[in-house]
């Protein structure tokens, strides 16, 4: 999957979703779309990287088109497991993805 995705942009892709078995991930025409259940986590992760590391890279990590897409994907629901993972990562790294933590507090009870 990662080999097929390469550095392709994320997008909403039309097509058959059985390319990777039960994974429900599609790569088509140099665009990739993960399954709905992980879209919010993908969006929050990429936006965190943009906010945290673009100042060091002196470039935008996310294209304008993907930034708009990630704003939509952020609204997808997060699971308790995803939020638990996010908390564990923040403890190990000693920094937090504040937007993700806030969304977890609002969504996962």
In tens, the pLDDT along 50-103 reads 998 888 877 788 888 999 999 999 999 999 999 999 999 999 999 999 999 999
Compute the distance between CA of residue 86 and CA of residue 102 in angstroms, rounded to an integer. Answer: 11
Secondary structure (H, E, C), 13-25: CCCCCCCCHHHCC
In tens, the pLDDT along 55-69 reads 887 778 888 899 999
- Kindly give the pairing relationship between strand 26-28 and strand 9-10: unpaired
Compute the distance between CA of residue 49 and CA of residue 109 in angstroms, rounded to an integer. Answer: 26
DSSP for residue 29? T
In tens, the pLDDT along 14-56 reads 877 777 777 788 888 889 999 999 999 999 999 999 998 888 8
Q: Which of 41, 33, 54, 57 is nearest to 99 (CA)?
A: 41
Mean pLDDT of the chain: 89
């Amino acid at each position: 999957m990662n080999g097929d995705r390469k550095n392709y942009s994320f997008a909403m892709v039309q097509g058959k979703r059985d390319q990777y078995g039960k994974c429900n991930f599609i790569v088509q025409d140099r665009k990739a779309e993960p399954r709905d259940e992980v879209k919010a986590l993908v969006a929050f992760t990429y936006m965190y990287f943009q906010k945290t590391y673009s100042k060091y890279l002196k470039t935008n990590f996310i294209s304008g088109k993907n930034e708009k897409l990630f704003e939509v994907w952020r609204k997808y629901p997060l699971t308790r497991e995803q939020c638990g993972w996010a908390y564990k990562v923040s403890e190990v790294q000693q920094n937090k993805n504040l937007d993700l933590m806030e969304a977890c507090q609002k969504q996962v009870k």
